[in-house]
Amino acid sequence: MTVITIARQLGASGEAVANRLAEALGWRLLDRALVERIADELEVAPEQVEACNERVENFVERLGAYLSEGLPEMMPIPNVPPVSPESTARAARRIVAAVADEGPAVIVGHGAQCILQDHPDVMHVLVHAPFARRVRRVHEHFHLDERAAAERVRQSDADRRRYVREHFSRDWLDPGLYHLAIDTGRFGVEGAAELIWEAASRIFGVLPSGGR
């Protein structure tokens, strides 16, 4: 297998970088496609997986799961989603490990940098950007005011940090998890994709083509 994983901060254009990189390499892009595979396995809508993506269960969700196992007669518990962050994370772990053996791919998120950490033919990349730039992009994309956009960015950072800590016992922004960290505030999407390509060429040598 030859795989590049992309971890990203909200508002840093990580998805755009991954898309440009996969397009240039002719590799499969596992971003939305990965969400759809997880949804298929769990037999839920992709939107339900996205709602649980890269976060941990809150108290209500944990309580609902506990009661459904131990006291089924007390169910249903109101406001408990039909798919949980925990079940989504378990499915993601299985599917990421499987798809990495299916050919060259760019995999976005889902803790892939941890799931595939010890695989020799995988390169791990963190896409980041200055906080103010990220807030501005979230403000523009989600049509939020500046205060709400800043809160969305902070909450996303907190969710992803907890997700990686709880499921993999690692620090999401630990530089030891990554071969390369790129600031899109400085290099932009196109420049970031080019830098990843160059670094991957140095790590892997000749890059495989196709695989979509």
pLDDT digits (tens, 9 = 90+) for 6-32: 999 999 999 999 999 999 999 999 988
Cα–Cα distance measured from residue 85 to residue 87, given in angstroms and rounded to the nearest whole number: 6
* CA–CA gap between residue 54 and residue 160 (Å, rounded): 6
Assigned domain for 15 exists = yes
- Rounded Cα distance between 160 and 166, Å, is 10
Say if 61 falls within a structural domain: yes
As a residue count, the chain comes to: 212
- For residues 108 and 121, give the distance between their C-alpha atoms in angstroms, rounded to a whole number: 16
Please give the Cα distance from 96 to 7 (Å, whole number). 14
Residue 92 lies in a domain: yes
At residue 170, the pLDDT reads 93
Q: For residues 127 and 6, what is the distance between their CA atoms, to the nearest angstrom?
A: 7
User: In sequence order, what are the residues at sequence separation of 6 or more whose Cβ sits closer than 8 angstroms to the Cβ of residue 180?
Assistant: 123, 124, 125, 126, 195, 196, 199
Six-digit token string for 18: 């991954």
Largest CA distance in the chain: 59
Q: How far apart are CA 200 and CA 125, in angstroms?
A: 10
Could you tell me if residue 41 is inside a domain?
Answer: yes
Full domain range(s) for residue 16: 3-203
Spatial separation of the C-alpha atoms in residues 11 and 17, rounded to whole Å:
12
Q: How many distinct structural domains can be found in the chain?
A: 1
Cα distance between residue 149 and residue 155, in whole Å: 10
Is the pTM above the cut of 0.85?
no
User: Do 33 and 152 meet the contact criterion of CB atoms below 8 Å apart?
Assistant: no
139 assigned to some structural domain: yes
The tens digit of pLDDT for each residue in 87-138 reads: 888 888 888 888 878 889 999 998 999 999 988 889 999 999 999 999 999 9
CB 55 within 8 A of CB 66: no
CA distance 186 to 191: 9
CATH number of the domain to which 159 belongs: 3.40.50.300
In a domain, 142, yes or no: yes
Q: Let me know if residue 209 belongs to a domain.
A: no
Q: Is residue 47 part of a domain?
A: yes
Question: Are the CB atoms for 140 and 10 separated by under 8 Å?
Answer: no
pLDDT tens-digit profile of 167-195?
899 999 999 999 999 999 999 999 999 99
| Between residues 48 and 198, the one the model is more confident about | 198
